[in-house]
Amino acid sequence: MSGKIVCFWGSPGSGKTIMALAVASALSKKKKNVIVFSGDKLTPSLKVYLPTVDITAQKSIGPLLMSNRYDDSDLATRMIVHPDTEYICFAGMAPSDNYITYQEFSRESVVRLANKFASYSDYVLIDGVSNPLEDTMTLAMLELSDVTVRSMTADGKGIMYSEANKTIYRDAKFRYDEQITVLGNVKEVSPYAEIIAIMGNFDYVLEYSYEAEDKMNAGKLLRDFNRSKGVKFEKTINKLTERIEGV
């Protein structure tokens, strides 16, 4: 098996994590094996993904990224299966980790681990950060992922973020113009029309859903919504998922 690596990144508050979790949920419904992977040391991810699960320091992926010496059994002990489906696993930093727990992870160790996960699964979803220059994993995956999803908030900060970062990541190796674009976390008060007038069209517009946020905060699968905003959110995620599958 050689799975597809998908990297999610973009402006702060644009819904990178909830998007990755929702795509994972959509893929799991199709019985695809998915690993959601984050190396973010500033905001340790495992408790965000799994708020109801007891997560110890022994579950952190950090020591493996630092040592670069591990086998399949070492990886297996640090991966956590979603309580509601066997098709989603998580790998990331434990609640006890912080920005100074580990030195900067090497590009070699990040790439090796991502490729290792891809050999286990159908999809590896990289939950990237907003500043890739401060996160080796996001920066490496912007170059090497099979699919990149770039999201932006529907406000002035989103515009400023996109304009500032466009000059940094215009290098051909980042394939900036090939990335899937999402205007994320769009609310009723968001100046949607004004943003489109300035930035042009996005591939997808993902509206905010209380139901989606509630499910994420409860550690539930982000699928099978009932409320109108949730149903619309899920329809957009399903279209995005189909696009990712087709790349």
**Could you tell me if 12 and 130 are in contact, meaning their C-beta atoms sit under 8 angstroms apart?**
yes
Look up tokens 């160790």; give the residue: 109
Furthest-apart CA atoms within the chain: distance in Å: 52
Percent of the chain with pLDDT over 70: 100
Length of the chain: 247
SS3 of 150, please?
strand
| Residue 99: per-residue pLDDT | 84
Token digits of residue 44? 């340790």
Kindly list the strands in the beta sheet with 4-10, ordered across the sheet, starting from the edge strand earlier in the chain: 80-81, 88-91, 34-37, 123-127, 4-10, 147-153, 180-186, 204-207
Which of 145, 135, 131, 134 has the alpha carbon at shortest distance from 173?
145
Q: How many helices (H) and strands (E) does the chain have?
A: 10, 8
Residue 175, sorted as left (phi over 0), alpha (psi -120 to 50) or beta, turns out to be left
DSSP code string of 101-136: TS-PPPHHHHHHHHHHHHHH-SEEEEE--S-GGG-H
**Could you tell me if 63 and 93 are in contact, meaning their C-beta atoms sit under 8 angstroms apart?**
no
pLDDT digits (tens, 9 = 90+) for 85-99: 999 999 999 999 988
Residue 229's CB is within 10 A of a number of other CB atoms, namely: 16
Q: What is the DSSP letter of 51?
A: T
From the number of C-beta atoms within 10 Å of its C-beta (0-12, 13-18, 19+), residue 112 rates as: middle
Q: What superfamily does domain 4-246 belong to in CATH?
A: P-loop containing nucleotide triphosphate hydrolases (3.40.50.300)
SS3 of 174, please?
helix
Look up tokens 């022994």; give the residue: 58
Which of 90, 106, 108 has the alpha carbon at shortest distance from 44?
90
**Could you tell me if 237 and 23 are in contact, meaning their C-beta atoms sit under 8 angstroms apart?**
yes
Which of 170, 164, 166, 108 has the alpha carbon at shortest distance from 136?
108
Which of 213, 247, 226 has the alpha carbon at shortest distance from 22?
213
What is the full per-residue pLDDT of the chain (247 aa) written as tens digits?
589 999 999 999 999 999 999 999 999 999 999 999 999 998 999 999 999 999 999 999 999 999 878 899 999 999 999 999 999 999 999 999 988 888 889 999 999 999 999 999 999 999 999 999 999 999 999 999 999 999 999 999 999 999 999 999 989 999 999 999 999 999 999 998 899 999 999 999 999 999 999 999 999 999 999 999 999 999 999 999 999 999 8
